[in-house]
Amino acid sequence: MPRILMTGASGGIGTRLRTLLPPIYPDLLLSDIRPPADLGPNEKFKAADLSDMAQCEAICDGVDGIIHFGGYSVEGPWDDILQANIIGGYNLFEAAHRKGVKRVVFASSNHTVGFYPRHHKIGTDVTVRPDGRYGVSKAFGEAVGALYADKHGLKVTCIRIGNCDEKPLDHRRIAMWLKPEDLVQLCRIGLEHPDIHFEVFYGVSLNERAWWDNHRAYEFGYRPTGRSEDHVAHAMAEQAKLKPDPIGDYFQGGAFASKEFDGDASRIIDWNKR
């Protein structure tokens, strides 16, 4: 069986996948800057700070494939995102190349395209329009992945994750919800499909109100089982508790788009109506 490294094992998504991946990949190595609080006796863990190349090389040694969920996972100060996502992201790909890793699944984000309006359905081939520093770092990660695929032959899959949870938590997430088991499907395509070179997929389940054209994932065999319409009542009840957000409610990035926003809202919205 292949040895798979999963970074970001202590994060929200990593915590969910820790229970779903071992039956598929028994030789699973977990990593994060610090161990999960509930690390089990049968789980293999190796700590690493991704901003340190030597530590990245250490966790990549002897690994066949990587699921890269490590890094800074929300909008935040530039220096934090720079170290964890920009430097750390580059280090991870370079270390994988140096150590002969064959495949990398990179956890990108919907925030690479967060400044597209919700009424536009977009594919993966659009110009990136990040909604913050975090989104910029994920667009950078996709670009680095493309470089290592084209220049060095690493097989790279980038997943623009919507919101991975047990159910959609508000109106926005009805469009972008990703069932954890469906994320596992996408990871398996990246780690196993023979025709992967460099691909970008949207991390989204079978959502009738989705803003994204995910046909490339379906061409590679993706068959999601989650359906956000089954959870609409819960999502809208939660939405009713939230305050209106004129910018966030218009753009796909939600609160990431409205955070620190001080531009001309009317000009941006008018431009996007064209």
Average pLDDT of span 51-68: 98
Give the mean model confidence (pLDDT) for residues 1-20: 95
pLDDT of 52 over the 60 cut = yes
8 A C-beta contact, residue 216 and residue 124: yes
Q: At a CB cut-off of 8 Å and minimum separation 6, what does 181 contact?
A: 20, 225, 226
pLDDT for position 267: 73
- pLDDT of res. 265: 82
Asked whether the predicted pLDDT for residue 123 surpasses 80, the reply is yes
Evaluate if residue 258 carries a pLDDT over 80. yes
Torsional sign, CA 213, 216, 219, 225? negative
pLDDT digits (tens, 9 = 90+) for 68-86: 999 999 999 999 999 999 9
Cα gap 180→189, rounded to integer Å: 15
Does residue 134 carry a catalytic annotation? Answer: yes
The model's confidence at residue 271, banded by pLDDT at 50, 70 and 90, is low
- Three-state secondary-structure class, residue 175: helix
Q: Is the pLDDT of residue 274 over 60?
A: no
The average pLDDT across 225-232 equals: 97
Q: Scanning the structure block, which residue is given the tokens 């949207």?
A: 202
CATH superfamily of 4-272: NAD(P)-binding Rossmann-like Domain (3.40.50.720)
Kind plus residue range of the DSSP H or E element containing 7: strand 4-7
H or E element at residue 28: strand 28-31
**The length of the chain, given as a count of residues:** 274
**Can you read off the two tokens belonging to residue 269?**
């919205």
Of the candidates 25, 134, 148, 202, the residue annotated as catalytic is: 134
* Structure confidence at residue 272 as a pLDDT band (50, 70, 90): low
Strand ranges (E), 114-243: 155-161, 163-164, 177-178, 198-203
The pTM (predicted TM-score) of the whole model is 0.95
Q: Return d(Cα 142, Cα 11) in angstroms, integer.
A: 20
Give the count of beta carbons closer than 10 Å to the beta carbon of residue 229.
14
Residue-by-residue DSSP string for 57-106: HHHHTT-SEEEE--S--SS--HHHHIIIIIIHHHHHHHHHHHTT--EEEE
What is residue 269's predicted lDDT score, i.e. its pLDDT? 67
Predicted pLDDT of residue 186? 98
1 pLDDT above the threshold of 80: no
Tell me, rounded to whole angstroms, the distance of Cα 179 from its chain centroid. Answer: 13
Q: What is the dihedral of CA 222, 18, 110, 142, to 10 degrees?
A: -80
Residue 82 CA: distances (Å) to CA of 11, 141, 169: 18, 12, 29
Range with the lowest mean pLDDT among 191-195, 214-218, 243-247?
243-247
Q: Reply yes or no on whether the pLDDT at 273 is more than 80.
A: no
Tens digits of residue pLDDT in 168-197: 999 999 999 999 999 999 999 999 999 999
Is the model more confident about 182 or about 269?
A: 182
Does position 124 have pLDDT exceeding 70, yes or no?
A: yes
Q: What is the pLDDT of residues 22-38, one digit of tens each?
A: 999 999 999 999 999 99
Q: Is the pLDDT of residue 264 over 90?
A: no
